[in-house]
Amino acid sequence: MRAFLAGARIQLRFLRSYPDSLIPFFTAPMFTVIFLMIFRHAGRPDLTAYATVAPVFIALWWLALFNAGWSIQIERWNGTIEMLVAAPSSFAAVILGRITTTTMIGVVSFAETWLVARLLFGATVRIHHLWAFVATIVITLATMAGTSVAMSSLFVLTRNAVTFSNAASYPFYILGGILVPVSVLPHWIRPVSSIVFLSWSADLLRAALRSTPMHDVGFRLGMVALLGVCGFALGAWAMRVILVRVRTSGELGTM
């Protein structure tokens, strides 16, 4: 826990000195504008919920992944990764603390995108199921952070973690049904999509914005949480394995 908090604290300090890592706050509202324009043009105002939820998910997931890569990269640049590994605290817990912090800050992009939707398009986002909505966000954030740790363990193996993490975000946008519903994906890809927590989260959030009653909220939230726990467990395990590997190869400190 202390490692987690230490990670959170250092992350706040890093964010202040590397403000460029907060770029999604800038891009999220742009995506809203693009999506809303397309949907309006196509005559589908019913898809407004997609247009306002998708940019937030893109921003949040990008932040989580980017920070997973970037946390590792910063350690390499500064030449601190070896010392971090040799410190008594769990490496995975420190990274989790860092990613969670940024992702939590990312929630601000909800306000941003909705404000843009309101001001430019007069589209009001109404939350019909407040508790389901809040619960989904909280659990999704934790899950994002947990899953990112799994990704960051892979980034330890690459020399240019940031580039890699950028590219790694796109498949999740598709599989997570963030903008395009999973139901329009080819059949064979749907099972894969159901193990991507984003697909459950995005469905839940959109449902919470609709006036129709929600079904199986507990089960679906449970799935998000379960996938998150699995992600983190897998990540922590992979991190241990990979750290042993780089300690064997001697590539930990190399840039």
Partner 1 sequence: MPAMEAVVVEGIRRVFTPRKREPVTALDSVSLTIPVGEVHGLLGPNGAGKTTLVKILSTVLLPTEGRALVCGHDVVTETKAVRPLIGIVFGGERGLYTRLSARQNLEYWGALYRLSGPQIKERTAMLLDRVGLTDRADQRVEEFSRGMKQRLHLARGLMGDARVLFLDEPTTGMDPLAAREFRKLVGDLQDEGRTILLTTHDMVEAETVCDRVSLIDRGRILATETPRSLGSLISRFQRIDIEDAPDALLAQLKLVAGVSSVSPQADGSIRIEVNEDGATALVLRHLVDAGITSVKTSLPSLEEVYVQMIGERGLVV
Ligand X SMILES: Nc1ncnc2c1ncn2[C@@H]1O[C@H](COP(=O)(O)OP(=O)(O)OP(=O)(O)O)[C@@H](O)[C@H]1O
Minimum distance from residue 79 beta carbon to ligand X (Å)? 13
CB neighbours of 220 closer than 8 A, spacing ≥ 6?
Answer: 200, 203, 204
- What is the rounded CA–CA span in Å between residue 58 and residue 168? 12
- Choose among ligand X, partner 1, none what residue 88 binds, the Cβ cut-off being 5 to 8 Å by kind: partner 1
- Choose among ligand X, partner 1, none what residue 78 binds, the Cβ cut-off being 5 to 8 Å by kind: partner 1
Terminal alpha carbon distance of the chain: 30
- Choose among ligand X, partner 1, none what residue 83 binds, the Cβ cut-off being 5 to 8 Å by kind: partner 1
Tokens standing for residue 87: 């410190």
Closest residue to ligand X using C-beta atoms: 250
Minimum distance from residue 5 beta carbon to partner 1 (Å)? 7
Query: Toward partner 1, which CB reaches closer, 14 or 66?
Result: 14
- Choose among partner 1, ligand X, none what residue 94 binds, the Cβ cut-off being 5 to 8 Å by kind: partner 1
Minimum distance from residue 75 beta carbon to ligand X (Å)? 16
161 close to 240: Cβ distance less than 8 angstroms:
no
- Choose among ligand X, partner 1, none what residue 217 binds, the Cβ cut-off being 5 to 8 Å by kind: none
Residues 221-250 interacting with ligand X (rule: CB under 6 A)? 250
- What is the rounded CA–CA span in Å between residue 108 and residue 114? 10
Of residues 141, 136, 122, the one with CA closest to residue 209: 136
Positions in the binding site for partner 1 (CB under 8 A): 2-3, 5-6, 9-10, 13-14, 17-18, 74, 78-80, 82-89, 94, 244, 247-250, 252-253
Tokens standing for residue 153: 């363990």
CB neighbours of 215 closer than 8 A, spacing ≥ 6?
Answer: none
- What is the rounded CA–CA span in Å between residue 93 and residue 78? 20
Minimum distance from residue 55 beta carbon to ligand X (Å)? 43
Positions that interact with ligand X (CB under 6 A): 250, 254
